[in-house]
Amino acid sequence: MAISGEGKVAIVTGASAGIGQAIAVGLARVGFSLAVGARRKERLDDVSKEIERISGARPYAAALDVTDTTSVERFISGVLDHYGKVNVLVNNAGKALGLDHIDASANEDDWQEMLDTNVMGLLRMTKRLVPYLIESGDGHIINIGSTAGHEAYAGGGVYCGTKFAVRAITGALRQELLGKPVRVSSIDPGMVETEFSIVRFHGDEDRAAKVYEGLRPLRAEDVADCVVFAATRPFHVNIDEMILKSIDQADSRRVARHGQPS
Ligand code: 8X3
């Protein structure tokens, strides 16, 4: 039986587009009060309007750069001033940059940015919110991992490394919070058609489009459905991990394009 989000506050990072936006909207639909953050606050306007249309209440929306401790602390104190509590933290902010092999030509700035966003960003948010999630009496950390956290692929050494780290951190949190009123989940999608590949290829839209050519990739809403499912289980049910892939993806190397296995 699904439990409503009424009376509960959910934070979604990286909420201005794609999976983050779909998660924020999905949680608003089942009654959660939303706090949404993204690096460029003006990009949160659309999601804020959509949430207000669905719920009648404007979400708390503010600039949030998870790579910047000051920004993280300002965002969290803004959420607490606004709502007075936090029940759910969805650590969605994350990115892949490049497909460099680990050799002399690799772009170390890309590596640093992925590590700082996907790993340290998630940790910065989680570390500061754990006490409030416990205090809520009904807390939930939902980390957005990836199939890249289950299987490495050439060119994905560092991106996969960050997602393996997310999986390890999720597992450790599950142990550390055992006996406390905080659930810990990881939702791990495969190929999802969002701005993900455009960001990965530094704005090269043609190259990004080729990733999904002939496939039926997951949509952001498919991932959001899983997050909403996890967040609306009765309190004694912890969805530890969900892995979802397109019907056209068997693993990170094998996909079917136009129905033909490649
Ligand atoms: C996204 C999945 O396979 O593009 O996290 O790395 S993949």
Q: Per the structure block, which two tokens stand in for 192?
A: 């999802």
CATH 3.40.50.720 fits 9-189+220-240, yes or no: yes
Query: Which of 196, 249, 255 for a ligand 1 pocket mutation test, highest count of atoms within 8 Å of Cβ?
Result: 196
Cα–Cα distance between 48 and 50 in angstroms, integer? 5
In the predicted model, is pLDDT for residue 89 greater than 80?
A: yes
Mean pLDDT in residue range 175-196: 97
Mutate to test the pocket of ligand 1, among 99, 159, 193 (most ligand atoms within 8 A of CB): 159
Ligand 1 atom at shortest distance from the alpha carbon of 200? 4
Kindly report the protein residue whose alpha carbon is nearest to atom 4 of ligand 1.
191
Which residues, judged by CB distance below 6 Å to any ligand atom, belong to the binding site of ligand 1? 96, 146-148, 156, 190-191, 252
Tell how far the Cα of 134 is from the centroid of ligand 1, in angstroms.
32
- Residue 167 Cα to ligand 1 midpoint, Å, equals 14
179 burial via Cβ count (<10 Å: 0-12, 13-18, 19+): exposed
Atom of ligand 1 nearest to the CA of 148: 6
Q: Residues 120-140: what's their mean pLDDT?
A: 98
Q: How far is the CA of 142 from the centre of ligand 1 (A)?
A: 18
Q: What percent of the chain lies above the pLDDT cut of 70? A: 98
Read off the pLDDT of each residue in 204-219 and give the average, rounded to a whole number. Answer: 94
Q: What is the pTM of this model?
A: 0.96
pLDDT for the residue 260? 53
Closest ligand 1 atom to Cα of 252: 3
Mean pLDDT of 215-236: 97
In 10 A of CB 237, how many CB atoms? 11
> How many CA within 13 A on the CB side of residue 120?
13
Measured by CA distance, the residue closest to atom 2 of ligand 1 is 190
Q: How confident is the model at residue 258 (pLDDT cuts 50, 70, 90)?
A: confident
CA of 189 to the centre of ligand 1 (A): 7
| Pairwise CA distance, residues 1 & 109, whole Å | 46
Ligand 1 center–CA 47 separation, angstroms: 24
- 236/25 Cα distance (integer angstroms): 25
Q: Which residues are catalytic?
A: 159
Mean pLDDT of 9-15: 98
- The full set of domain ranges for the chain reads 9-189+220-240
Closest residue by Cα to atom 6, ligand 1, is 148
